[in-house]
Structure 1
Amino acid sequence: MKRVRIIIAVLILFMLLGGILYINPLLPIITGYAAKNLSSGIFLANRTQESMEATDLNFSFIRFVKNRVDSRSKTVTSHFLWHTSHTSFVNGYGNILVNDYPVSDIEARPYPVVPVLPENPDTIAWPMGDLIVDTIPSGIDMQQLNLAVEQAFADTVPYKGTFAVMVVCQGQPVAEKYADEFSTETLFLSWSMAKSFINALAGILVKEGKLDIYASAGMDEWKNDERRNITIHHLMQMNSGLEWNEDYGNSSDVNNMLHKEGDMARFASSKPLEYSPGSVFEYSSGSTNIVSYLMRKAIGDDAEYFAFPREQLFNKIGMRSAVFEVDASGTFVGSSYLYASLRDYARFGLLYLNNGNWQGEQILPENWVAYSTTAANGSDRSYGAFFWLNQAGIDYPDVPRDMFSCRGHDGQFIYIIPSKELVIVRTGFSKNGEFDHNGFVAGIVDAIK
């Protein structure tokens, strides 16, 4: 019996050690996810701690995290087992997960206060403002459209988790609906829709002659190996060849980058070359953050870089609400962290629907949308340059093939369908299999005759 007890004790010890070895590298991800998303949810999106913890943070180990909110400093401290994460707040640039850099360094960077458009949007006609006329464009079956929008709010599988929906047809808003506790004032997290905003900012720099997407990316650490052949074009089409793991369910590259790294671009750029650049499609949030850093490098002045999205994009198209968050090193987290209202996401969709032209001003290069929707090598015609495509109809068989879209984790979408003059925005919190995106878009498209 004594020997049996010893064996059992040893087995329990090994199980405990195994559990510790498994959970330890996940702890910064668990607490970092909670701290970052809760702080931005409260202090940017104007949501409550209770709402965030009941929905966005109510899964896996995240639901067991203890969060302390400091309303005075606009920060959150999150604790689970033996690990703690905390955030710092910079006005105009959001909540920053504190990793690798002291708070004093994070807060001391030359963040300019860039004025948002001063006019009251309620007095300015759509799309530059929020004065929306009631006239409905011809050729729309409004009863069918409203049914399709209502269905998205059923909150049961296969239409679970919708926060808000907006439909713009022929440039005119024709449907807009919010779940309880959300409104026109709510800022929604983009997740990977932010990648498409990096596409726009890169396009503006190309138009200004400050960025050559086909030249070597010019990362210093790539000069002496085959990575020197990687271009910004390769990075934007997700075929740089850099090793990457985008699995959100474990201690993957994307989770480590977002929750453990202060300099996300440097982490991503440190990855070895796995494939020849341009040959293999592999979706990588790291690639977008490298491009964000390369734009910072091309601009050459941090204050100008920080002001760039607001001055050259957001203010140009009436996106008054938008906040692009930075990492602890001061680079915009182009892979994941942009907040904006539903209407502002619709405005961004309209910019691309109109070939980069905004009310007569060509903001993007004239061929930029065509470039952005050219299929990347190896993507099965499903991806362009930081935009998803429907050319093969794989995920959206019942939707026009010319649709392209911004997609974000857990169900954030801007759908752009030129053949229908249509922009659809949907935000929410829906895990895989909980929301029928093909059926949702198809239902709206079928209402447009």
Structure 2
Amino acid sequence: MFKGVSLLLMLLCSCAVAAQNWPAEQWAPGPPGSGPALAALEDYAFASRDEATRKGIRTDALLVIRDGQLVYERYAGGTTADTPHLTWSVSKSLMAAVLGVAYGEGRFSLQDKVAKFLPAMVPHPEISFADLLHWASGLDWQEDYEYAPLNSSVVAMLYTRGHTDMAGFTAAHPAFGAPGQHFRYSSGDSNLLSAALKNILGAQRYADYPWTALFDPLGIRSAVWERDATGTFVASSYAYMTARDLARIGLLMQRQGRWGERQLLPADWVAFNLQPFAHYQANQDAAVPGGHWWLNRSVDGAPRPWPDAPPDSFAALGHWGQALYVLPAEKLVIVRYADDRDGSYRHNELLKRVQAAFPPQVLP
């Protein structure tokens, strides 16, 4: 009897996988939204654009995928469906996905010390890959932007004395605490991961690895990724792709690293990405850090960062309003590109309006 039940369950699971929508060269269209809820979403996301002051919500692209189908797409500000848009710190989560493929190939473990692969990290022998992925290296890094450029480690890394060798610049920072104990958001940590991967793979294979390992299997054709003078991808900031292509990364993560019949990212890697950093203290930031992704989780009894979204929601987030949201419970992937400058945009508000405009389909 149990053998028969098990066989039935296997067949049902196989049918469920087969019934999933997977994009081919283009996304298949799904049922579009309409009515007051869609109008309310557009009123929020695409308010009148002030090009003189650059104030207010300035969405360049908004794309919604429901269960693998494209149900909404709109562009503004010169961005089109064919524009590889700068993702800023969404690049960090892209590098996490690239690293996930290498992890699945057995090239490193989360507890490996980065100094094993990156000589510049020898002065910091206890920092592990997991520490860097949690932005918890313990290095004394200042992630300040336009409002405090003179004190900013990231501005110096990207634009002045550190820009030729970003990982080397980061590794030269002193420690402020023990690795793995304190969350301190750091673009430098992301670039250390990128440089370590280069040494793991060798420079020749590394040069096209994001494409051969991740982008090509997903059908991503628009990706551009800038490098520093050492040939290291700037994992912190400088990946570009169209909104439709970025949505493919979201669908991969929504489906636990699976793409069609292939488990592209190991399930335990995705689980690590989506587990809150154990030493994170609530209210330090707008979302809870996981393994180079941002989570909508309650930590220490604090409210969830996006209370109107399901608790399993997560995102890749970038400067000036770039966002890739994944809402597994709703089977939604949302891409937003933007040119926000004044902090008026709210993640929760957009997510609330998208869910209202594109509710789950009720099967007859």
Shorter-chain TM band: 0.7 to 0.9
Does residue 388 in structure 1 map to residue 283 in structure 2? no
Residues 192, 336 of structure 1: 8 Å contact kept = yes
Indicate the residue corresponding to 1:18 in structure 2. none
Separation in 1 of the partners of 2:65 and 2:120? 45
Q: Secondary structure, in 3 states, of the residue corresponding to 1:312?
A: helix
2:119 aligns with 220
Indicate yes or no: 2:232 matched with 1:339: no
1:436 matched to 2:335? The reply is no
TM-score (normalised: structure 2)? 0.83
Pick aligned residue for 1:363 from 264, 282, 296: 264
1:284 aligns with 2:186: yes
Distance 1:312 1:328 in 2: 23
Q: Which residue of 2 aligns with 1:136?
A: 31
**1:325, CA displacement in angstroms?**
1.1
Closer/same/farther in 2, CA of residues 354 and 159 from structure 1, 3 Å limit: farther
Q: What is the CA–CA distance in structure 1 between the aligned matches of 2:305 and 2:128, rounded to whole Å?
A: 29
Between the aligned partners of 1:159 and 1:420, the Cα distance in structure 2 is 28
Q: 1:421 aligns with which of 326, 331, 347?
A: 331
**For 2:222, which of 321, 326, 342 is the aligned residue?**
321
Give 1:273 deviation, angstroms.
1.2
Equivalent-residue separation in structure 2 for 1:273 and 1:142 (angstroms): 55
Residues 235 and 307 of structure 1: CA distance in aligned 2, closer, same or farther (over 3 Å): same
Deviation at 1:305, TM superposition (A): 0.4
Q: Which amino acid aligns with 1:127?
A: P
| Matching residue's letter, 2:306 | Y
State the match for 1:405 in structure 2.
315
Matched residue SS, 1:204: helix
Give the one of 293, 296, 309 matched to 2:195.
293
* Counterpart Cα distance in 2 of 1:294 and 1:342: 28
Aligned residue pairs: how many? 319
SS where residue 154 of structure 2 aligns?
helix
**Aligned: 1:247 with 2:144:** yes
Give, in angstroms, the shift of residue 437 of structure 1. 2.3
Q: Aligned pair 1:170/2:73, yes or no?
A: no
Alpha carbons 1:155, 1:162 under 8 Å: kept = no
User: Relative to structure 1, is the Cα distance of residues 294 and 326 closer, same or farther in structure 2, using a 3 angstrom cutoff?
Assistant: same
Matching residue's letter, 1:353: Q
- Cα pair 1:388 1:407 within 8 Å, conserved: yes
Query: How far apart are residue 142 of structure 1 and its match?
Result: 5.9
Deviation of the 1:180 alpha carbon? 4.6
- 1:388 Cα deviation (Å)? 0.7
Matched, 1:153 2:46: yes
C-alpha distance in structure 1 between counterparts of 2:27 and 2:304, whole Å: 38
CA contact (8 A) 1:202 1:211 kept: no
Residue number in structure 2 paired with 1:259: 159
Greater relative contact order (Cα < 8 A, sep 6+): 2
* Residue number in structure 1 paired with 2:76: 179
Q: In structure 2, what is the Cα distance between the partners aligned to 1:354 and 1:143?
A: 30
Alpha carbons of 1:265 and 1:180: their partners in 2 closer, same or farther (altered >3 Å)?
closer
Q: 2:159 corresponds to which letter in structure 1?
A: H
**Residue 208 of structure 1 aligns with which residue?**
105
Match of 2:6 in 1: none
Deviation at 1:136, TM superposition (A): 1.6
Give SS of 1:191's match. coil
1:214: how far off? 0.7
- Tell me the amino acid that sits aligned with residue 258 of structure 1: L
Deviation of 1:215 after TM superposition, in Å, equals: 1.2
Match of 1:271 in 2: 173
Structure 1 residue 213: Cα displacement: 2.1
Distance 2:157 2:255 in 1: 35
Contact 2:304–2:311 under 8 Å retained in 1:
no
Show structure 1 runs of 5+ residues with no match.
1-124
- Asked whether the equivalents of residues 163 and 428 of structure 1 are also in contact (C-alpha less than 8 Å), the reply is yes
Larger Rg: 1
Change over 3 Å in CA distance of 1:129–1:146 after alignment to 2 = farther
Distance 1:131 1:386 in 2: 27
- Residue of structure 1 in register with 2:5 after alignment: none
Q: After superposition, what is the alpha-carbon deviation per residue over 1:212-241, rounded to whole angstroms, capped at 9, x for unaligned?
A: 221111232443x5x211101100001111
The answer on whether the counterparts of 1:415 and 1:423 sit within 8 Å (CA) in structure 2 is: yes
Q: Which amino acid aligns with 1:350?
A: L
CA distance in 2, matches of 1:180, 1:276: 45
Partner residue of 1:58? none
CA contact (8 A) 2:134 2:291 kept: yes
| Secondary structure, counterpart of 1:425 in structure 2 | strand
Change in CA separation of 1:399 and 1:191 when aligned onto 2, cut-off 3 Å: same
Deviation at 1:147, TM superposition (A): 3.3
Q: CA offset at residue 412 of structure 1?
A: 0.1
Find the counterpart in structure 1 of residue 96 from structure 2: 199
RMSD (CA atoms): 2.0
Aligned to 1:19: none
Aligned partner of 1:349 in structure 2 is: 250
- Output the CA distance in 2 between the equivalents of 1:216 and 1:239: 13
